[in-house]
A and B are shown apart, each in its own frame.
Chain A
Amino acid sequence: MLNEELKAKITELLAAATFEEGGDPMATGWLNINVDAKDWLPLATQLRNDDTLFFNYLFCLTCIDWKTHLTMVYHLSSTRYRHNIVIKSKLDRNNPVIETVSHIWRTADFHEREVYEMFGVNFLNHPDLRLLILPDGWEGKNPMRKDFEDPVNMIKL
Chain B
Amino acid sequence: MLEEVGTTTEGDLIINVGPQHPATHGVLHLVITLNGETIKKVEPHLGFIHRSIEKMCESLTYRQFIYVTSRMDYLSAHINNHACALCVEKGLQAEIPARAQVIRVLMDELTRIASHELWWGAMAMDLGAFTPFFHAFRERETINDIMEETCGARLTMNYMVPGGVMQDIHPNFQRRVKEFMQLYKRKIHEYDEMVTGNIIFQNRMKNVGYLSPEDAVSYGCSGPTARGSGVSCDIRKLYPYEVYSKLEFDEILETGGDSFARYMVRIREMQQSIRIIEQLIDNIPEGDFQAKTKAVLKLPKGEFYSRVETARGEFGVYIVSEGGTTPYRIKFRSPGFSNLSVLDHIARGSKLGDMVAMMGTLDLVIPDIDR
Contact = CB atoms under 8 A, between A and B. Distances in A.
Given A23-B304, A27-B305, A157-B60, A109 B341 contact: yes
Interface string A5-36: 00000000000000000111011101000000
Contacts of B109: none
Contacts of B345: 106
Interface in A45-102: 56-60, 62, 64-65, 73, 75, 79, 82
A132 interface: yes
Contact of A79 (B231, B328, B331): B231
Interface string A115-148: 0000000000000001011111000000110001
Kindly state the interface size class of chain B when it binds its partner. Answer: 35 or more
Nearest to B46: A133
Given A27-B91, A64-B329, A105-B220, A79 B233 contact: yes
Nearest to A21: B302
Contacts of B217: 56-57, 79
A64 B331 CA distance: 9
Main SS at interface, chain B: mixed
A60 B303 contact: no
A113 B211 CA distance: 23
A107 B2 contact: no
Interface in B45-82: 45-47, 50, 52, 54-56, 59-61
A155 interface: yes
A26 B50 contact: no
B46 to A, nearest CB: 5
Interface in B318-369: 318, 320-321, 326, 328-329, 331, 333, 337-338, 340-341, 345
Q: Which of A58, A65, A105, A132 has the most CB of B within 10 A?
A: A132
A60 B52 contact: no
A135 B47 contact: yes
B21 interface: no
Given A24-B302, A60-B333, A133-B46, A107 B232 contact: no
A130 B238 CA distance: 35
Kindly state the interface size class of chain A when it binds its partner. Answer: 35 or more
Contacts of A109: 341
A59 B307 CA distance: 10
A60 B316 contact: yes
Nearest to B231: A79
A106 B233 CA distance: 17
Contacts of A130: 1
B126 interface: no
Contacts of A143: 52, 55
Nearest to A32: B303
Nearest to B325: A157
Given A23-B300, A28-B303, A57-B217, 6 more contacts: A24-B302, A59-B314, A82-B238, A111-B220, A148-B55, A157-B59
11 contacts: A22-B303, A23-B300, A23-B302, A27-B305, A30-B305, A59-B316, A64-B329, A75-B333, A105-B218, A135-B47, A136-B2
Interface of A: 22-24, 26-28, 30, 56-60, 62, 64-65, 73, 75, 79, 82, 105-107, 109-111, 114, 130, 132-136, 143-144, 148, 155-157
